[in-house]
Amino acid sequence: MDRVKTAGVLVTLLMFPAGLAAQPAPPALATARAHYEDATINAVTFRSADAFFPTEPVAAGARAAKLPRAPKTLASTVKLGEGSFAFDEALQRTYTNALLVMKDGAIVDERYLNGGAADDRYMSWSMAKSIVSILVGIAIDKGQIKSVDEPIDRYVPETRGTAYEGVSIEHLLMMRDGTSYTEQVESGQSTLERIKKRATYGNNTNFTDLSGLDLTRAHPPGSKFLYSTLTSTLLGRLVEEASGLSLAAFTEKHLWKPAGMEAPGYWVLDNPAPKGRAVGGGAFNATLRDYGRIGQMMLDGGRANGRQIVSKAWVEKSTRYPGTTSVMPGAPRGYGYQWWTMLGTDRYEAIGIHGQFLSIDPKTRTVIVKLSYWPDKGGRQLNLDTFALFDAIRAEVGK
């Protein structure tokens, strides 16, 4: 325990060196941030994160990779639950803000709802985890990270003397770090809510400051799936420490510009500059079409804009689940390196908590991006309805 407390003090000094003491957010701003996800406003706030939080830009290159168009009428009706609905109504019933459908690299359908537009940058929520996975793969390809078998504390100072010390990068990628962290709880406050309140809402600490969280080793690393936004944000820190660049700068240099993205993106930071760091577990923002370009790059084995952005080997490894049983009760889901898989198929997806989907299906050569504003943090019926919507789209596009 003394060692952990000492590590907490050292981490605080590392994260807030002399001259960079924490500067808490004004109470009114902290309160506004706490209501950012409210169902009455999230159709708008989810494309306006930079009005609420500090950010770091990710610039696009001089020329965007072209996305040809091959328009096609999508499903006329979609069966949701016990009823069938017109396609437009199905989009409304699944709380859609924007939708992009691509087949063989061409745009089949693109639409914006609720006042949105093509140049809006939409909050990724946990789709960011899959983007961080790509960035980790790039850092490994470049030799900046030697192996996923290395312990995270070899790179990230915040983890030394904590429950994360000795845990491999691979175990973090697979959400099997073995700590007592909680993402959501039925009553009380989860670890994630505690972190958000003190970091992204209040600007009192960095998101990956582990001091005061009292996390312990609850399971042997690698033994139990435990979904964790903290884990993914630590992987973002891994990229920063291994490369010597901020996560935004690394994204820009090695992904955004070379892949030919058409518009700037940005990472939400946990504090204003210069002490702010990217919230890698759930806070990237980009246009609908650029999310589609990420999906197409993955579908094409890591290749985009005429160049190999991340190795094909990493794409294949990161999007495959080595197990046979579901990691999520009641859903046929596996989990690779920060990518969700669908058991019995070769489909894989980046998914955000309020219905953000980047769904990639190698069998039909389709990419679907659905950016939503679900009124709560998911739910069985909304997920089932979204799967039905995607199935209807792919059945029509595949004809």
Give whole-number Cα distances, 45 to 35, 75, 121, 144, 324, in Å: 10, 29, 11, 36, 38
> Exposure string (b/e) for 91-103, b if CB count within 10 Å is 16 or more?
bebbbbbbbbbbb
CA trace torsion 306, 280, 287, 328 (10° rounding): 100
Identity of residue 149: D
The distance in angstroms from the start CA to the end CA of the chain is 62
Give whole-number Cα distances, 260 to 223, 254, 293, 297, 341, in Å: 39, 11, 8, 10, 26
How high is the pLDDT of residue 80?
Answer: 95
Q: Mean pLDDT for each consecutive 10-residue tract of the chain (399 residues)?
A: 31 40 88 97 98 98 96 93 95 98 98 98 98 99 98 98 98 98 92 97 97 97 97 98 98 98 98 96 98 98 98 98 92 96 97 97 97 88 95 92
Q: What is the CATH number of the domain that holds 280?
A: 3.40.710.10
Asked if 273 contacts 55 with a C-beta cutoff of 8 angstroms, the reply is no
User: How many domains is the chain partitioned into structurally?
Assistant: 1
How high is the pLDDT of residue 372?
Answer: 98
Determine the Cα–Cα distance for residues 171 and 249; give it in Å rounded to an integer.
Answer: 26
Instruction: Give φ, ψ of 309 to 5 degrees.
Output: -85, -45
How high is the pLDDT of residue 22?
Answer: 65
How high is the pLDDT of residue 377?
Answer: 78
Could you tell me where the DSSP H helices lie in the chain? 2-15, 27-34, 42-45, 87-93, 127-141, 169-173, 191-196, 229-243, 247-251, 288-299, 312-318, 380-397
Query: How many CB atoms within 10 Å of residue 342?
Result: 17
* Domain encompassing residue 311: 2-397
Identity of residue 208: T
